[in-house]
Amino acid sequence: MKKDIIVTAKTVEDAALEGAKALGVNRDDVTLDVIEEPKKGFLGIGATPAKVKITYILKPLEAAKSFIETLLRDLGITGEILIHDDGNGESLITIEGEGVSALIGHHGDTLEAFQYLVNLAANKKDDEDRQYTRITINIENYREKREETLRKLASKMAVKVKKTGKNIALEPMNAYERRIIHAEIQKIEGVSTNSVGTEGNRRVIIFPEGSAKPTEMTKPEKKNRQGDRKKGSKRSDKPANGERRNAEKKEASENRAPKTERKPEGEARTYKRPDTPRPAPRKIEKAKDLDSYFAKLKEFSSNNPQ
């Protein structure tokens, strides 16, 4: 991400100093593109100033902060941005303030998407010497709270696996959350973990230690419609489930439908739809707040193309 400004001054160097000051950076951090060279004229008559385009390429964390500030402002959210840089290409940005929790989403889904966009903005290749910086976004201490929840979940499921001896598949998680589960299970004897599935639907399976490592989700066994009747057993005198259901449907239809006179054999019969109204289709409620957020985000992206 970069900022630029066009400045006119008596000389190119004066324009560079003035442009750097306007951008709030040092003179050595900007690049110059001379649009018009200055002309002295004759005895001062006809002199023209230099016209220079001053460009400053934001550093990764500067670009990240600028992107976050613009996005928060466009969404009408007020938040304080704090940057923690360890100097080894790993940085943490925390955002606190009223309304910023709307950027977390269900189990952090919106936060992960937000973090992805921030990393794209921060690491855009505007020059060849730009070093990649991995940025983690934390909002209202969500990651600490989520980590504690996942650790408790891993311990609880591990106890269940050891008790039943059966595998347990957890809900789909991102790579960061899966690492927390793996790390917690490693501390518990008798159980192990493995990640299965494709990205976006990848989940952790906890299984008894010593058993075969699961490489895919197991499909649940289909139950016999006739029940758990064993082969070779004598047929019960009671009617089968299918026959009983058919009898119940027939009895219900006879009780509901109006009685009509029996037509003589050989005469054509016509079907008459019952007058009872059909049930209204079930409505599916949407997450209105999340839809509203993505609508604003889409509007922001279209109005501010990079």
The 10 Å Cβ neighbour count of residue 132 is: 10
Least confident of 97-111, 118-132, 177-191: 118-132
Q: For 82-87, which contacts have Cβ atoms below 8 Å and span 24 or more sequence positions?
A: 85/61
Between 29 and 113, the more confident residue is 113
Q: What are phi and psi of 57, to 5 degrees?
A: -90, 120
Residue 154: CA count within 13 A, CB half-sphere: 26
Residue ranges matching CATH 3.30.300.20 in the chain: 60-140
Three-class DSSP labels, 93-150: EEEECCCHHHHCCHHHHHHHHHHHHHHHHHCCCCCCCCCCCEEEEEECCHHHHHHHHH
Tell me what pLDDT residue 305 has.
Answer: 47
Q: CA-to-CA distance for 216 and 175, rounded, in angstroms?
A: 17
The 10 Å Cβ neighbour count of residue 31 is: 13
Distances (CA, A) of 210 to 162, 190, 193, 272: 12, 8, 11, 65
For the chain, give the mean pLDDT.
75
Tell me what pLDDT residue 210 has.
Answer: 87
Reported as a pLDDT band with limits 50, 70 and 90, residue 21 is: confident
Instruction: For residue 50, give the H/E element and its range.
Output: strand 50-57
Residue ranges matching CATH 3.30.1370.50 in the chain: 147-208
Asked if 38 and 76 touch (Cβ cutoff 8 Å), the reply is no
The 10 Å Cβ neighbour count of residue 257 is: 12
Could you tell me the fold of the domain covering 60-140? GMP Synthetase; Chain A, domain 3 (3.30.300)
Task: Find the helix packing angle between 60-75 and 288-303, rounded to 10°.
Answer: 120
Tell me what pLDDT residue 58 has.
Answer: 82
Please give the model's pTM, rounded to 2 decimal places.
0.55
Tell me what pLDDT residue 280 has.
Answer: 44
Return the closest-CA partner of residue 1 out of 63, 62, 54, 55.
63
Could you tell me the fold of the domain covering 147-208? Ribosomal Protein S8; Chain: A, domain 1 (3.30.1370)
| pLDDT for residue 84 is more than 60 | yes
